[in-house]
Structure 1
């Protein structure tokens, strides 16, 4: 006798430097994806059903997540009751050791819930720092966690002015990667939020010489492949005086990925998926799921 199958929404985070990205990679590949390790951790729970993870938001090699999400169906053997949310979190974190991947929370959701398609929005943060003449000058705790932009100055006001052109609904073809794996996906996206703010390093009480940290925040229901890194790269060019705010408007209106300036894309190191939002109504308690 087996218990009923239960669908869980799981929020998780990871340090992305050592992975090929969040999505599953072939097992023979030297560098695996975060999903490979998540799937292995779930399999350690010995479910009665075949396991498939549905991840809400794809991130590439070197990109980090403060909070990504997935849904998975788990059916236990021998008539055992479904895992409680707390037990599931602890068990998965135990089996994920020593990987830099952590389960933040788990919630029981309806059987028709889908982590990708039910997401209301995704928020990305890009961290960068000015004032470094060489990458070796970065504080040790910032290695692989921000983009060291050469130069001692970034005009945040000009960046914010340029960012306003990206707000709203547009055809973002210029900011889509030329090597997009989904060339037929609509390039029309609605950017709900984009702004730049001065920030601090991870150890805010310590002054890092003359370094200035910045954060660029982007919020939309979905993004095109490498759209955030391309927008970041172009905005940094504005901040350095190599492009004007009006140039961003012109790039947007060009609607041509070939119009994007060469060697302008931001590296993956400073990119973090910060948040995936859902409607509160989709969340169930363990008691509600059993009625």
Structure 2
């Protein structure tokens, strides 16, 4: 009887457009909308590994949220004396089986068998895109559909938004800025926002369609985030920019430490949100060739 080769663990980086998915996490088979993880695992199964397929996602994103860089780890055990896939071959093979989906593997690394994509990540960066200078639906370029939050007939006080962003930066209890979920009581609400930034954004459509549309990018960087924390922070900053909240009220929300105190319907919609980076120590991404059973 032919023996199987040893197990090789890989760290993969991947991107996707989240519009058609239930989120990045795997959805039950009976659910109409599937998660990105469903498609990643189907692609890995197409490589016919010996082991049971499981892809461990580093960073959760919800329905409609996009990623330019998410990551995950997975194990592959090949049959017989077949050598492990090289990083480039694995990347190309998975992309071949994913070609019908708006999901792409960008990089792959061989990593030790105890490497964990979620727990070894040292930071995650999200960017939320806003569009102003729009008075009606037809003015939004089709290239921006589902990729920004169009603020109809809105001018933003960006200086006030930056002042409110400075309130959120640093280490705080963000209980007010997390939505309730089944695991909420078990997660530490204290997070450190390394970066909260409001900057002008760029768009291909500005050069070729309507130059009076102004795009803005709200950037948030932290080791980890609470459930829907970024969308709640964006909603609060936009409310400040619109004059609906004061900077002092943002501070009060932070100090309240109560999820139920967050104003109803103030959270930003999902479709302007992008996970743009999951960062690891350089030592985790160095060439590794030591996996064994």
Q: Give the structure-1-normalised TM-score.
A: 0.96
Kindly state the Cα deviation for residue 282 of structure 1 after the two structures are TM-superposed.
1.5
Q: Is the contact between residue 180 and residue 225 of structure 1 (CA under 8 Å) also seen in structure 2?
A: no
Deviation at 1:207, TM superposition (A): 5.1
2:134 to 132, 135, 149: 132
Give distance in 1, aligned partners of 2:180 and 2:90: 40
Aligned to 1:47: 49
1:193 equivalenced with 2:195 (yes/no)? yes
Q: Is the 8 A contact 1:142 1:202 kept in 2?
A: no
Secondary structure of 2:172 counterpart: strand
Count of matched residue positions in the alignment of Structure 1 and Structure 2: 290
SS in 1 for 2:226: coil
Provide the C-alpha distance between the structure 1 equivalents of 2:237 and 2:288, rounded to a whole number of angstroms. Answer: 46
Q: Which consecutive residues of structure 2, in runs of 5 or more, have no partner in the other structure?
A: none
Q: Does the aligned pair in 2 maintain the 1:84–1:286 contact within 8 Å?
A: no
Per-residue deviation, 1:48: 0.8
2:258 aligns with: 256
Task: Report the equivalent of 1:98.
Answer: 100
**Alpha-carbon shift at residue 134 of structure 1 (Å):** 3.2
Corresponding residue of 1:243 = 245
Aligned CA distance change for structure 1 residues 289 and 269 (closer, same or farther; 3 Å): same
Where do 1:4-153 residues align within 5 Å?
Answer: 4-153=6-155
Asked if the contact 2:236/2:267 (under 8 Å) is kept, the reply is: yes
Q: Is the 8 A contact 2:7 2:291 kept in 1?
A: no
Following TM superposition, by how much is the alpha carbon of 1:204 offset from its aligned partner in structure 2, in angstroms?
4.8
Equivalents in 1 of 2:23, 2:122: separation in Å? 23
8 Å contact from structure 2 (residues 125, 275) kept in 1: yes
Q: Following TM superposition, by how much is the alpha carbon of 1:258 offset from its aligned partner in structure 2, in angstroms? A: 1.4
Distance 2:287 2:181 in 1: 43
TM-score of the two chains, using structure 2 as the length reference: 0.95
Distance in 1, Cα, partners of 2:209 & 2:124: 32
- Of the three residues 144, 160, 163, the one matched with 1:161 is 163
Per the TM alignment, residue 259 of structure 1 is displaced from its structure 2 partner at its CA by 1.2
CA-based RMSD: 1.4
Q: Which residue of 1 aligns with 2:287?
A: 285
Distance 2:100 2:270 in 1: 23
Note if contact 2:125-2:219 (Cα within 8 Å) is conserved in structure 1: yes
SS at match of 1:72: strand
How far off its partner does 1:29 sit? 1.0
Which 5+ residue runs of structure 1 have no aligned equivalent? none
